[in-house]
Amino acid sequence: MFANWKCNKTVDQAIAWLEEFECFLKTRSLTDVEFVICPPFPYLPVLSASIEKSCLDVSLASQTISDVSSGSFTGEVSAEMVTSWVKYSLIGHSEQRMSRKITDEKVADTVVLCQKSNISPVVCVSNLEQIKNLIKNSLVKRDGLLIAFEPLESISHDGNFNPADPDKVLDFINLAKEIVPDAEFIYGGSVNPDCFGSYLDIPLKGFLVGQSSLDPEIFYNLAAYAKDT
């Protein structure tokens, strides 16, 4: 279960989220569920330290990563800069693809950089073409590659959800698996307590949750519901 906080929370709110989440985990540790928080970059060190101190079974991911490894690139954050804090990195989230005009080719190059730095990339896609272009790069390791399917129209805006039709998600996953059978798939886009159950029969490895991850109780309860179903 990935919590994509996007551009939300102050550092104090981030720490408070983790403390509250820890209480839920202590009440009932969902042992075989992997929780991954994707906070804004500046919170990675402090959250990493808190996780270590409390021996929490939670990992971190960056929300994006640069396609350069070092040099004169103002504002860029490279894979090797975050590698001691993160296990995963989102790559090619549609909000990044749009605002920073990132091409499929650059997404693939970044995936390769991440894999070289021992960070597991979570490649966000909204169509099959993006998957086809990803694997055109022969250096991308496909085995166990995590791909997050996020239909553009289903990503929530201003707290408004627009969940995708589960049948369409299933169709996409089946077609995507034909293109890259060694990959694992997660789903994201308006995942919330009302629609979550409708995706649980789809062969998915997990979920990338935005808006509904901002509240630790809602996020935790999604995972608890999945386990109980």
Instruction: Give the Cα separation of 115 and 104 in Å (integer).
Output: 17
Position 156 contacts ligand PGA (CB under 6 A): yes
The span from the CA of 122 to the CA of 25, in Å, is 24
Is residue 191 involved in binding ligand PGA (CB under 6 A)?
yes
d(CA 101, CA 95): 10
The reply on whether position 92 binds ligand PGA by CB under 6 A is: no
What distances in angstroms separate CA 219 from CA 3, 83, 108, 123, 172, one per listed residue?
Answer: 8, 25, 30, 21, 25
Query: Segment near ligand PGA (CB under 6 A), from 40-48, 79-87, 178-186, 208-216?
Result: 208-216
What residue ranges in the chain does DSSP mark as E strands? 2-4, 35-38, 58-62, 88-91, 120-125, 146-149, 184-188, 206-209
- Is 130 near ligand PGA (CB under 6 A)? no
190 makes contact with ligand PGA (CB under 6 A): yes
Is 150 near ligand PGA (CB under 6 A)?
yes
- Residue number of the CB closest to ligand PGA reads 210
Tokens of 142: 């496909």
How many residues of this chain bind ligand PGA (CB under 6 A)? Answer: 13
Interface residue with ligand PGA, options 188, 219, 223, 226 (CB under 6 A): 188
Partnered with residue 187 across adjacent β-strands are: 149, 207
Tell me whether residue 104 or residue 150 sits nearer to ligand PGA (CB atom): 150
Instruction: Summarize as ranges the residues that interact with ligand PGA (CB under 6 A).
Output: 4, 150, 155-156, 188-191, 208-212
